[in-house]
Amino acid sequence: MDTPKAPLLEVENLQVHFETDDGLVKAVDGISYSVERGQTFGIVGESGSGKSVSSLTVMGLTRSRNARISGSVRFDGKDLLGASEEDMRQVRGNDIAMIFQDPLSSLHPFYKVGKQIAEAVRSHRDVSKAQAWDRAVEMLGLVGIPEPRRRADSYPHEFSGGMRQRAMIAMALANDPKLLIADEPTTALDVTVQAQILELIEHLQDEFDTAVVVITHDLGVVAEMADDIAVMYAGRIVEKADTNTIFAAPEHPYTWGLLSSIPRLDSPRDEDLVPIAGRPPSLITLPSGCSFHPRCPYVREAHKRIDPKLEPVPGHPDHEVACLLPPETRRRLWAELQRGVKPDAARQGVMREEEAA
Amino acid sequence: MSTGTGASDLLQAEDSGIDELVAGEGPVAARSPLQLFWRRFRKDKVALAAGTFIVLLVLVAIFAPLIRKVFDIPNPNDGNTAALDDFGLPSGPSSQHWFGVDDLGRDIFSRVLDGARVSLLVAFVGTGLSVLIGVTMGMIAGFYRGWVDTIIARLVDVLLAFPVLLLGLGLASACSTKDGCLGGALEPGLKVVITIIVIANWPYVARIIRGQVLSLREKEFVEASKSLGASNSRIIFREILPNLVAPIIVYATLFIPANILLEASLSFLGVGVQPPQASWGQMLSDASTIFQSAWWYMVFPGLALLFTVLAFNLVGDGMQDALNPKSSRSR
Amino acid sequence: MAAYIARRLVWVVFLLFAITLITFILFSVLPAGDPAVARAGRQPSPELIESIRHQFGLDKPKPVQFINYIGDILPFVGHNGVYFGFSYTNNAEVLPQILDRLPTTIFLTAGAVVLWLAIGIPIGVISAVKTGSWLDRLSMGVALIFISAPVYFLGLVALYLFDDKIGKFPVLPGNSAYGQAHSFPEKAEALIMPWCVLAASFAAIYARFLRGNLIDTLQEDYIRTARAKGLSERRVVFRHGVRAAITPIVTLLGLDIGILLGGAILTETVFNIPGIGRYAYNAINVSDLPVIQGTVLFGAFFIVMMSLIVDILYAFIDPRVRY
């Protein structure tokens, strides 16, 4: 008999609020997701959506005097939120590793790259300095840095942007973690280098069977890499599904907006990009009802009062969405949008249809 | 564990500052930088208290003659030999002489009031002048660049490498001979002290302002102005100068306490304000010979210096906090 | 690295020249009085004045005097070694008198430096790590008070309280004790109060400065990375945080040492310590310009030298600076 294995990472109703002089900042307001071993999970959202804070919280890096954290985070069966600081320290860089957006500012400018990687190794493994150094060189080679032994002796500012990010990846994977969290790993890099880095992550993931969480604002980044995607807005997950579904049959207006605002090679040249109107909301005073309603082209009166819950789409239990529009309406709207109709026109078209029905 | 990474990361991730976050629904309520600054400064009770102290001190210094009249306090240079005891030693605090008398029988409270005038005058005038000169030089250097910039920048570097107290001492003592210096134009006393303060301070201001101007002139609003055909002076006064007001105020408040101490040190060494004009530093110097028996002579001028400088430091800190809440200062 | 040092050296030479020029202007051009008259003493005869004028080369035009002056202070060019001038009142050459007093000033400086680093740095680190705690508020408050009080006031208060002859709680040797001390321990004891007084203001400055720097540094991305790697908090704070935050302190320290070696004039005056500062103070009182000029030049040279040393040191600490 085969009992299904528990997910590697299980986040349940995670809430992270910060008390500040100006009010309570609800950075993360009740999100749940899970990541299986060896899988890739994408979290997509704008700045301020809470995507980074949620992952930092998984690592225990948001604990502070003014932070109010609740919910549950289980990693490999272990509770992380309630774990002691020493327990968390042993998890970080060892079972779960994280890489960040700007590799230049994320590496210490005064220490050689090899030393920083060796440091990561020695804080979790009982090895000699020489052995740790060898491991550092080995990792640098693995991430595709030429002449790794010489490079380990260099300082971060002597590397190019792409090589620095590779070095960060080397450092993160040095202790063979089960989960790698990549927070905007390519945002600070040139476009050509971006593809290389993503490829590298995928390759290493295959080789070491590491689970990966990719956090980004760019749907294009997760299109190829992720198995499942969660779309975050204003501290909540508004849509969650496997990658194919997100791109083929998304159901949340915000996701539609994200998809439409990506410039595509195959769209007509003189076609306008359709940005999402408005700005991200304040996390202290969130809009009433549905958080997205001020920017949603299909908003109705009720949406200003009722807060949508994340619920499965009828017939697709693994596809969840938090939207008050009836599923049929959403499907019709998406059909219109796919044909190239602009949101306003789509809304008018579908509403007319509904009144007629 | 004081990481604080979460909230600050979040707030820094947004390009908008926290004031825009607060706005929430509806159009963003516009608050001018001045209003924001004042709102934050008001919350800082310690800085407010210090600011009140300074205001009171300034008032007291201005109305010193009136105060003397009202409370029947002797003039600062009136020696009252009756207050000296049989051995010629001064008497301590009493109802007639609140702070006691010095070895010449002069009322110390009165002299402290006088000293306040000197310290405040020197600090404000000296700092004001050095800020004026520094801002001008910094603007010219940063805006026009070229060889003007090179000359000014090198001059600033040399002056900054020169030790301040030594320079001041040198200048003050060179001018302290009975003939004065510059052909007698500069005599020892207040003028020399202010000159020293100006010479010592303006390079700092100039360097900072030059840096700010260099980065400001690359900003888009200056380019926009230029493309609309604005003249150089218009750009300087309308676009760049308003953005410099904040750092100017902050550095001015930082320099004032240092200059108060500089004047006091020069007077302590005998090359600042000359007797019979009272100065807190000079009173301390006088006190150093008789303080064991006349502690009041040392304590009151010293405390006056301490509290005044402390007050300015607190206000300066408060202003820095109010202008840049994410910075690392006191709280 | 070599190019960096070479550039710094060129700048230092230029700086020393500029300082010499400024000092010369300050003391030979600015004063309205006639130096020959000042040197000649009381009621000199015109012939005496003239002969002095000739002897010291004061009858030559100013630019020539300046060149002579440069020649005097350079070690191998001048007529008889390095010559800093001749005192009006002490009937001796200035430089030997300065060098005579140098050990005393070095002793005073060294003790104070050790003390203020030992106090200031730990307080700065602790305050930064425990921002907002009562310890932080208390130490920053106390630091602010010590920064705001002039060092001579602190010195007078210290003497008033602790001088073993006249103080309220006589425990320490006070005023003039150093001049009377002979053995090394006696001298050290005599310097305890001056060390404390001098160190107090500096410790306060350094604690505040380090606290500010460290708080800023701990917000940096590489600190977040260090924590994410699972390093112990102690390692993060010291190996990553303090290591980065301490660099400006090194620069400041060099500068402060340079200034103090030129003569801690205020402290030496209050405590009657026969160092370079006191020497300058005495000269100021009697307007002995050559002595003042000599000490100013000496002090300025020290500061420039220390700046150079610190700049070179900086390149060792911060690898980004080397190119």
Pairing of strands A179-183, A96-99: parallel
Mark which residues 21-50 of A lie under 8 Å from B by CB. 22-23, 25, 27, 47-48, 50
3-state secondary structure of A122: helix
* pLDDT, tens only, B5-37: 333 333 333 333 333 333 333 334 455 666 777
Q: List subunits contacting chain B, requiring 3 or more Cβ pairs under 8 Å.
A: A, C
Nearest of B148, B272, B119, B123 to residue B206 by alpha carbon: B148
Spatial distance between the Cα atoms of A152 and A356, rounded to a whole number of angstroms:
70
pLDDT of the residue at B181: 66
pLDDT in tens, C139-163: 999 999 999 999 999 998 888 888 7
CA–CA separation, B27 and A334 (whole Å): 30
List pLDDT tens digits, range C39-70: 666 777 777 777 777 777 777 777 777 777 77
- Report the alpha-carbon distance of residue B239 to residue B216 in Å, rounded: 9
Q: ipTM of this model? A: 0.87
Pairwise CA distance, residues A57 & A323, whole Å:
26
Question: What CATH code is assigned to A1-95+178-249+306-324?
Answer: 3.40.50.300
pLDDT of residue A163: 92
Query: Considering only CB atoms, which chain B residues are within 8 Å of C18?
Result: 158
Most C-contacting residue of B256, B261, B269, B315 (CB-CB within 10 A), to test interface: B269
How far the first Cα of chain C sits from its last, in Å, is: 6
Q: What is the pLDDT confidence band of residue C83, given thresholds at 50, 70 and 90?
A: low
Kindly report, as residue ranges, where domains of CATH 3.40.50.300 are found in chain A.
Answer: 1-95+178-249+306-324
pLDDT score, position C116:
95
**What three-state secondary structure class fits A215?**
strand
Give pLDDT tens digits for C122-141.
999 999 999 888 999 999 99
Give the pLDDT of chain B (331 residues) as one tens digit per residue. 333 333 333 333 333 333 333 333 333 445 566 677 777 777 788 888 999 999 999 998 888 888 878 777 777 776 666 656 655 566 777 766 777 777 777 888 888 888 999 999 988 999 999 999 999 898 888 888 788 888 888 888 888 777 777 777 777 777 766 656 665 566 677 888 888 889 888 998 898 888 888 887 777 676 777 777 777 777 777 777 777 887 788 888 889 999 999 999 989 988 888 877 889 999 998 888 887 777 888 889 999 999 999 999 999 888 887 777 655 444 4
The predicted structure's pLDDT at residue B23: 36
Tell me how crowded residue A29 is: count the other CB atoms within 10 A of its CB: 18
The answer to whether residues B33 and B319 touch, using CB atoms and an 8 Å cutoff, is: no
User: Which residues of A fall within a CB distance of 8 Å from C228?
Assistant: 59, 61, 92-93, 97-98, 100
The parts of chain A modelled with pLDDT lower than 70 are 1-4, 263-273, 357
Helices (H), chain C: 2-24, 35-40, 46-55, 62-73, 94-129, 134-148, 151-162, 177-180, 184-190, 192-217, 221-228, 233-235, 243-245, 247-261, 265-271, 276-285, 289-317
pLDDT of C262: 80
> With the C-alpha atoms ordered C80, C84, C86, C87, is the resulting torsion angle positive or negative?
negative
Q: Give the model's confidence band at C271: pLDDT under 50 very low, under 70 low, under 90 confident, else very high.
A: confident
pLDDT at residue B2 in the model: 32
| Chain C: residue whose CA lies nearest to A116 | C226
Residue A212 — φ and ψ, nearest 5°?
A: -130, 135
- Does the structure show a pLDDT above 60 at C78? no
- Separation of alpha carbons C118 and C178, rounded Å: 24
Q: Does residue B269 sit in helix, strand or coil?
A: coil
| Residue in B5, B11, B25 closest to A61 by CB | B5
